[in-house]
Amino acid sequence: MCAFQLVFPKDKSKTEVNKIDITNSDDFLFEVSKIDSSIPYYNYTVSLFRHGLAPDWSKAPPNSTGGHFRISFPTNIQAFRSFVFLAVDFLNTKRKAIPFSENIEGLLVNIKKIDFTIQVWVNDGFSGSKIAQRYAFFNTWLNNTVSSDKTAQIEFHAHPTYRTYHTTSKDAKALAGKIRTFQDCIKDVVGAKDSNHKESASNNKELAVFNYKVAILHKRSRVERRMNPSYIDSIDTSKL
């Protein structure tokens, strides 16, 4: 069985999709070079996932201990080009251009009429230090690969089922207060001294914006939060 599967619209009507088995970066580039004429101008998704996996947000396994990074771009060209470059690095496992490639479930590019994003799905948990390190990686990668800096915005969306505690809201809030903030973790990685004077570890290059609120809060229904409280839902965002 092939290790990866590329999924993209079969034609501009978007009613059907093609599913192509991919074994290496050459296969991927060959297939991507042919899809330009078949995909619509906007409202389409192209994904590359490990075989048997898909970006299904509604199901807990196999991604219940992870989530996805979401990188927004100002143009559809930047988004699609970044997806292609990142997919090539992801598929070149011997070169290990992405230090956490073994923990990546897959990638996708989502082109809307006014919203252009790529998603990087990971499977190995939701911790501040880990997200901060990967935020720093994406900043360096964006600057070195596609010359994109502060025009991009990076978010991390935790899977809704990750680290759900069956406790009272009071206990969940107490637990949340002991968790180190994303601000502190990211400042450690990029070298920012404070909010008024940012000195980055990447020779003062502009850094993509990290959306802290998306990283910490789930947009779940009020009923679901009440029945299934989680420390992520209960974190105090007054300091953001």
DSSP one-letter string for 52-68: T----TT--TTSTT-EE
Does residue 6 lie in a domain region?
no
Please give the helix or strand (H or E) that residue 128 lies within, else none. helix 128-141
Q: Are 171 and 231 spatial neighbours (Cβ–Cβ below 8 Å)?
A: no
Six-digit token pair at 55?
Answer: 């970006």
How many structural domains comprise the chain?
Answer: 1
Q: What is the pLDDT of residue 94?
A: 80
Q: What is the pLDDT of residue 11?
A: 74
Q: What is the pLDDT of residue 108?
A: 93
Beta pairing class for 153-158 and 209-210:
parallel
Name, in order, each residue with C-beta under 8 angstroms of 127's C-beta and a sequence gap of 6 or more: none
Per-residue tens of pLDDT for the chain, all 240 residues: 458 999 888 776 667 888 999 999 999 999 998 887 777 778 889 999 988 777 665 555 555 667 889 999 988 988 999 999 999 999 987 888 899 999 898 999 999 988 999 999 988 766 777 888 899 899 889 888 776 656 788 888 877 665 554 555 556 566 556 666 666 766 766 665 444 444 444 455 667 777 665 555 544 556 665 665 554 444 433 433
Size of the chain, expressed as the number of residues it contains: 240
Does residue 53 lie in a domain region?
no
Q: What is the pLDDT of residue 118?
A: 95
Does residue 15 lie in a domain region?
no
pTM for this structure? 0.69
Does residue 70 lie in a domain region?
yes
CA distance 232 to 125: 13
Does residue 240 lie in a domain region?
no
Six-digit token pair at 28?
Answer: 């991927």
Residue 62: is the preceding peptide bond cis (ω within 30°)?
yes
CA distance 5 to 23: 8
Label residues 160-197 b or e (16+ Cβ within 10 Å = b): bebebeeeeeeebbebbeeeebbbebbbbbbebeeeee
Q: Are 216 and 182 spatial neighbours (Cβ–Cβ below 8 Å)?
A: yes
Does residue 35 lie in a domain region?
no
Q: What is the pLDDT of residue 150?
A: 65
Q: What is the SS3 assignment for 215?
A: helix
Q: What is the pLDDT of residue 43?
A: 86
Q: What is the SS3 assignment for 54?
A: coil
Does residue 11 lie in a domain region?
no
**Torsion 32-12-50-135 (CA) sign:** positive
Q: What is the pLDDT of residue 57?
A: 57
Does residue 110 lie in a domain region?
yes
Q: Give the single-character DSSP code of 180.
A: P
Structural domain span for residue 219: 42-47+61-234
- CATH number for the domain spanning 151: value is 3.30.760
